[in-house]
Amino acid sequence: MSGPHPPRFLLVFDFDETIVDENSDDSVLRGRALPEPLRLSPGGSYNEHMQRALAFLGEQGVRPAELRAVYENIPLSPGMAELFQLLSKHQELFELVLISDANTFGIEAKLRAAGARSLFRKVFSNPASFDRRGVLTLGPYHSHKCLQCPANMCKRKILGEYLAERAREDVEFQRVFYVGDGANDFCPAGTLTAADVAFPRKGYPMHRLIQESQEKQPGAFQAAVVPWESAVEVARYLQELLRRKC
């Protein structure tokens, strides 16, 4: 007997200002009395800046439970709960992964609090864990050679490697859907084909960069583009797809 059919569609999510309605780093630092060097524009990479900021919080006595509560209480973006409800009903069709320049601790905490962790096959983010002192330590995800992306993460590389890994496992997706908002989501979305769909959050950097690309080089950005203000719009698009396909 043959095994279950592999999922037809890959759905890729960003986290900050996509799944949740804030930048989770800002949420953690909000209201904290940071020293002046940590309030100014970060020297070096942003990932290194957050390493220093989280270390400072730990040294000031901010405990793991307090940080977990902050992440758990970040609001979901409009319509995201409804989108998750739809996807939970069609897990045999959609494979979900999350690619984010936030951190694994915060993302895992929020997804579990939202009852959505089981929807995601993989979470790709900067590694974060508590050391013996209870300080949340943060690292870079990887190194890469992409000139468009921050030194610690190229989402295009992560997505490409994931698709290659799944292909070796005999899983070939009919279509890839990418839901994001930031400039670092434009890079991986540029690898999508004409069969795929980019869902940029309306008015955010990913949306503006796609529009600029389409104006400068019509046809260079191949994927269909469906901007959203509420993730309900993403859910409606996918529901219509299912009505046509299933």
pLDDT value at residue 244? 86
Q: Which amino acid is at 5?
A: H
Q: Annotated binding residue at 181?
A: yes
pLDDT value at residue 41? 59
Task: Give the C-alpha separation, 3 to 6, whole Å.
Answer: 9
Task: Give the C-alpha separation, 233 to 49, whole Å.
Answer: 35
Secondary element (H or E) of residue 10: strand 9-13
How does DSSP assign 101-117, residue by residue? SS-HHHHHHHHHHTT-G
pLDDT value at residue 4? 63
- pTM of the predicted protein model: 0.94
Q: Annotated binding residue at 185?
A: no
Question: Mean pLDDT in runs of 10 for the chain (246 residues)?
Answer: 71 98 95 81 78 93 95 98 97 97 98 98 97 93 92 96 96 96 96 97 97 92 97 98 80
pLDDT value at residue 43? 61
Q: Annotated binding residue at 16?
A: yes
Secondary element (H or E) of residue 207: helix 205-216
Instruction: Tell the CATH topology of 9-21+76-126+141-245.
Output: Rossmann fold (3.40.50)
**Could you tell me the CA-to-CA distances from 55 to 23, 38, 45, 209 in Å, in that order?**
19, 11, 16, 34
Domain parsing of the chain, residue ranges: 9-21+76-126+141-245
Looking at the annotation, which residues are catalytic?
Answer: 14, 16
Q: Annotated binding residue at 196?
A: no
